[in-house]
Amino acid sequence: VSASLIVTEQEMRAEFMQQNLRAKIQYLMVPVSAFRTQEVTASDDEISKYYNNNKDEFKTQETRKLKYAAFSTAPSADDSSRFFNILNEIKSEALAGEDFSRLALRESEDPTVTQNQGDLGYFEQGAMVKPFSDAAFAANPGDIVGPVKSQFGYHIIKVIDKKVEDGKEKVHAAHILKKLEASGGTLDNAYSKAEAFAETAQKDGYNIAADNLGVELKETNSFVQNDAGIIPGVGELSPAMAWTFGKDAGTISEVFSNDQGYYVFMLEAIVPAGYRPLEDVKELCKSRIEIQKRKDLAAEYARKIAPTVQQDSDFRTLAANDPEKILVADTTDYFTRNITVRGIGRAPAVVAKAFSLPLNQVSGMLETDRG
């Protein structure tokens, strides 16, 4: 299978012009901000009309809410105790003179250990994660330190050498990485509890099962379906997301799992897609109406002074002579078609006019968010 893409000379020229042609303009602006202290009001009728005319802005997606029981698969106290006993035994072997590279090959869970036998070579301060780097640079050559906890697990570190190169201290170190994880027994225990709860919930009811088995229940916030499968409070769990948006309210799930544990859900509530009620967005509608009224005041002022703007007008003089001291005159930096213009903001109409207007010509009135 093959494919080809042909770009015409005209397309290349258009792209070049889009990316490289620059313009610089002088502008005379009636800023909306000049009318921010002007008292404007929005009546209930105006708010209702705005809401009805712009209802699409207030659309809501279907949301769902879950109740759930979580059964953690975090390492137990016994798991942790056994883990640190193993770490201490490894460290003791290293301190007793056991070859560190052989220990690393036997014990380390670093995926690169088969290539480097745990030897990390020389590195500068900050080249490794901070806890590891701090421990290595604080030790002396020959020291074996740790366990040091990092985001990757627990490290036993052997400092082999130190040197200064190009004015920077470097450490040569090797390490053995071990990860604290739940034992098979801990995982089995968590799953057994989750399975027992799910069976009891199906038979006796979700809340009753929780009470009888002493299981803590939690609730999610309402959420929309998302491709990432993120459930609030739970994390990524795509199969449960699909289940949530395919069942009726009151349905109890089977056991789901992710890296944090096992879960049994109950679909607690469904809110259909629709529109946010007017009372929830009344202040937002009011604010937008008032902003538009201030824009209208700015436009009215601009229309009033428009006859004084001639092709040969000096914008700075017009602004300086403005009796209301509202007008702002300025010159932009050079800008391309796809950039926000300093002092004006995102203004497609201004940018389009800048690149189509003949040199030294004055445009008509243009509206932007700022004025």
Residue 160 lies inside a defined structural domain of this protein:
yes
DSSP code, position 326: -
Residue 199 lies inside a defined structural domain of this protein:
yes
| Minimum mean pLDDT range among 188-192, 237-241, 345-349 | 345-349
Distance between CA atoms of 267 and 52, rounded to whole angstroms? 33
Tens of pLDDT, residue by residue over 29-81, are 999 888 888 888 999 999 999 999 999 999 999 999 999 999 999 999 999 99
Residue 235 lies inside a defined structural domain of this protein:
yes
Q: What pLDDT, on the 0 to 100 scale, is given for residue 9? A: 64
Distance between CA atoms of 231 and 225, rounded to whole angstroms? 9
Mean pLDDT computed over 239-256: 96
**Upper half-sphere CA count for residue 87 (Cβ side, 13 Å):** 24
Q: Domain check: are 147 and 212 in the same one?
A: no
Closest CA to 273 of 49, 62, 53: 62
Q: What pLDDT, on the 0 to 100 scale, is given for residue 38? A: 83
Residue 291 lies inside a defined structural domain of this protein:
yes
Q: Domain check: are 13 and 91 in the same one?
A: no
Residue 203 lies inside a defined structural domain of this protein:
yes
Phi and psi (nearest 5°) for 164?
-110, 125
Report which residue type is found at 303.
Answer: R
Model confidence at 17: pLDDT above 60? no
Residue 349 lies inside a defined structural domain of this protein:
yes
Model confidence at 5: pLDDT above 60? no
pLDDT band at 136, cuts 50/70/90? very high
pLDDT band at 3, cuts 50/70/90? very low
Q: Domain check: are 130 and 173 in the same one?
A: yes
Q: Domain check: are 18 and 104 in the same one?
A: no
pLDDT band at 10, cuts 50/70/90? low
Closest CA to 263 of 79, 108, 67, 120: 67
Distance between CA atoms of 52 and 48, rounded to whole angstroms? 6
Q: What pLDDT, on the 0 to 100 scale, is given for residue 22? A: 86
Tokens standing for 287? 């604010």
Model confidence at 2: pLDDT above 50? no
Q: Domain check: are 110 and 169 in the same one?
A: yes
Residue partners of 331: CB distance under 8 A and separation at least 6: 24, 25, 26, 27
Residue 328 lies inside a defined structural domain of this protein:
yes
Which residue's structure tokens are 């289940």?
243
Model confidence at 1: pLDDT above 60? no
pLDDT band at 15, cuts 50/70/90? low
Q: Domain check: are 346 and 303 in the same one?
A: yes
Q: Domain check: are 68 and 205 in the same one?
A: yes
DSSP code, position 261: E
Residue 45 lies inside a defined structural domain of this protein:
yes
Q: What pLDDT, on the 0 to 100 scale, is given for residue 6? A: 60
Which residue's structure tokens are 């002493």?
214
pLDDT band at 14, cuts 50/70/90? low
Strand partners, 66: 267
| Domain boundary, last residue among 119, 149, 178 | 178
| Domain boundary, last residue among 272, 304, 334 | 272
Q: What pLDDT, on the 0 to 100 scale, is given for residue 305? A: 87
Domain range enclosing 163: 77-178
Strand partners, 24: none
Q: Domain check: are 99 and 172 in the same one?
A: yes
List helix spans (H) across the chain.
9-20, 44-53, 77-95, 100-107, 113-116, 130-138, 184-204, 206-213, 238-244, 278-305, 315-320, 348-356
**Upper half-sphere CA count for residue 240 (Cβ side, 13 Å):** 29
| Domain boundary, last residue among 178, 193, 211 | 178
Q: Domain check: are 71 and 196 in the same one?
A: yes
Model confidence at 318: pLDDT above 70? yes
Q: Domain check: are 267 and 285 in the same one?
A: no
Q: Domain check: are 128 and 144 in the same one?
A: yes
DSSP code, position 128: S
CATH number at residue 255: 3.10.50.40
- The proportion of the chain whose per-residue pLDDT surpasses 90, expressed as a percent, equals 68
Tens of pLDDT, residue by residue over 279-307, are 999 999 999 999 999 999 998 998 888 88
Q: How many domains does the chain have?
A: 3
Distance between CA atoms of 86 and 105, rounded to whole angstroms? 15
Q: Domain check: are 71 and 219 in the same one?
A: yes
Model confidence at 16: pLDDT above 70? no
Mean pLDDT computed over 134-147: 94
Mean pLDDT computed over 267-273: 96
Model confidence at 7: pLDDT above 60? no
Burial class of residue 249 (count of CB atoms within 10 Å of its CB; 0-12, 13-18, 19+): exposed
The mean of the pLDDT values for the chain is 91
